[in-house]
Structure 1
Amino acid sequence: MSTDFQRARVALGDRLRELRLSSPDGRLTGTQLAERLGWTQSKVSKLENGRQTATAEDLRAWAEGTGRPEAIGELTARLKGLESDYRSWRRQLAAGHRPVQDTLNAEHARTRVFHAWQGSMVPGLLQTADYARHVFIRYAELHRSKRDTEDAVRSRLKRQEGLYDSGKKFNILIGETALRSLICPPSVLAAQLDRLTGVVGLDTVHLGVVPFSASLKIPPANGFLIYDERLVIVEDWHAELWIKDQDSVTTYMRVWKTLRESAVFGADAQRVISRARQTLGES
């Protein structure tokens, strides 16, 4: 969990505690407030200590339960600021994958230099329509979210128009696992690998592959995207983290550069892709 997000969550918890202790009805204990709200006392404790993220409904109930309904607007604003850094998939995907892709498209539109690391999946920026379709279906099944697969695919492909903008640079690293993971039928993966082979020659794209045989200076953990060294987006199973504090962004940039030392490029990258393609036969 990003440090800036946790600091914001702790600050929100401190504010909730202030409201409880300064209730017009008199100082409330955590147990008394829990009884008023029909919650467990542990939930009150977790919210106040920054160990659980409040929902908008939680904040409204807290403000009303402490006799401070005028604080609802303030608390909601704090939550929105917090959620700009921590974006749960449950909330993001309530309307489907298309809005999430549109938001990413806006970030790509304003970005001139882009860095990415994906160890086990082809990055969205380089996905074919069929490959992207299977990815969205798998994630919709996982999160039990709205199925808007075709709209999401169209939005993701629109982002790829930036690959042909001479004013942009895309520095992308992928692990060899991404070339071999059958999250789609073999024929779809074969076409995806053919697409990657063609991407190697684009002037705007610097594509590297970290082979299975490469010596690694650090473990290749979860994937991340870096936008102009001002924003890092990290995907986890439960949420997407938007990291903006400069120290953290610098750390992710250092991770990317370290992984780059283990990657191969150009003709060597094409050979790794070709070997993976050959295992799929004439798909």
Structure 2
Amino acid sequence: MTTDFQQAREALGRRLRELRGGKTQRELADVLGWPQAKVSKLETGRQTATPEDLMAWAKSSGHPAVTEELVARLQGLETQTRSWRRQLRAGHRPVQDVLTVEYERTTEFRVWQGSMVVGILQTPDYARHVFSRMAELQQSPRDVEDAVRARVRRQELLYGAGRVFHIVLWEAALHAAVAPPDVLAAQLDRLASVIGLDTVRLGIVPFGAQLAVPPANGFWLYDERLVIVEDWHAELWLDDADNLALYRRVWDSLNSSAVYGTHARRLIGRARSHFTDLA
């Protein structure tokens, strides 16, 4: 499947091939001290360049003045697709700090999450287990405690005026055993406690509810200006009108299957009873 990201990466590759000029791939690779395969992959869009790669390419191909152009093209790729490999080079804490900036700019959030409790509602213990498992999966620096503090500190936004969080979870998120039973039970108590806050509307889509669309990737809509979609390899940061409208339709559809208030409390309580029995 060809994506906007892949098309842009291929366009960058064509520009690199153009800059190579009369040199062969082997000749340029020798100058750069790279395997020829790397030159080939960059030119065909099968590998994403780093800023350092682009600086070296511009210099070695005899076009140092285009370095800024090439790096700008790369930044254009990253504005949409932000790989976890790159984001997590320095750990989870910097990623949390970037998100905090977006939270502070936003007054109305719409959230869908089908696999776990969303970060803005996580207890410290639950967040600690999530960050630990993700650090292991992504083989990233383990700055777990710093990341937990940043996430919990951001939750202060729940208690200030001027913001509303419309959060919809699939019932499966209540049962996902990503932490020990006692931690999960406390997390579910936390979920029940936010029902009734004037800044939070928490809906649960029950097992067996009729769905117009499948409960797929989690995503956050920030006002009407940005949607961040989560995948295993990357986040998508999308700000074009068509994608914003698409994700709003998805959220509205899933929300129409959700229950709120007493019904949501009942589902949370049922999940909590299960983990209490295991603790």
Normalization by structure 2: what TM-score? 0.92
Q: Which amino acid aligns with 1:39?
A: P
| Partner-residue secondary structure (3-state), 2:257 | coil
Question: Residue in 1 aligned with 2:220?
Answer: 225
Question: Residue in 1 aligned with 2:193?
Answer: 198
Q: Report deviation, 1:196.
A: 0.6
Give the Cα–Cα distance (whole angstroms) in 1 for the partners of residues 173 and 245 of structure 2. 25
Report percent identity of matched pairs: 62
Do residues 13 (structure 1) and 16 (structure 2) align? no
Q: Which amino acid aligns with 2:201?
A: H
Do residues 60 (structure 1) and 55 (structure 2) align? yes
Question: Residue in 2 aligned with 1:100?
Answer: 95
Give the Cα–Cα distance (whole angstroms) in 2 for the partners of residues 32 and 105 of structure 1. 46
Question: Residue in 2 aligned with 1:24?
Answer: none
Per-residue CA shift, 1:210-250, capped at 9, x if unaligned?
11121111111110111012111112111121111111111
Give the Cα–Cα distance (whole angstroms) in 2 for the partners of residues 167 and 214 of structure 1. 32
Report which stretch shifted further, 80-89 or 191-200: 80-89
Q: Which amino acid aligns with 1:12?
A: L
> Where does structure 2 lack aligned partners over 5 or more consecutive residues?
none
Report which stretch shifted further, 30-39 or 160-169: 30-39
1:44-193 matches, cutoff 5 A? 44-193=39-188
Give the Cα–Cα distance (whole angstroms) in 2 for the partners of residues 204 and 227 of structure 1. 15
Give the Cα–Cα distance (whole angstroms) in 2 for the partners of residues 18 and 109 of structure 1. 43
Give the Cα–Cα distance (whole angstroms) in 1 for the partners of residues 2 and 164 of structure 2. 27
Give the Cα–Cα distance (whole angstroms) in 2 for the partners of residues 2 and 85 of structure 1. 15
Q: Which amino acid aligns with 1:136?
A: F
Aligned residues: 277
* Contact map agreement 2:25 2:36 (CA 8 A) in 1: no
Give the Cα–Cα distance (whole angstroms) in 2 for the partners of residues 201 and 276 of structure 1. 19
* Contact map agreement 2:182 2:276 (CA 8 A) in 1: no
| Partner-residue secondary structure (3-state), 1:75 | helix
| Partner-residue secondary structure (3-state), 1:264 | coil
Give the Cα–Cα distance (whole angstroms) in 1 for the partners of residues 103 and 135 of structure 2. 23
Normalization by structure 1: what TM-score? 0.91
Q: Which amino acid aligns with 2:10?
A: V
> Where does structure 1 lack aligned partners over 5 or more consecutive residues?
22-26
Give the Cα–Cα distance (whole angstroms) in 2 for the partners of residues 4 and 100 of structure 1. 24
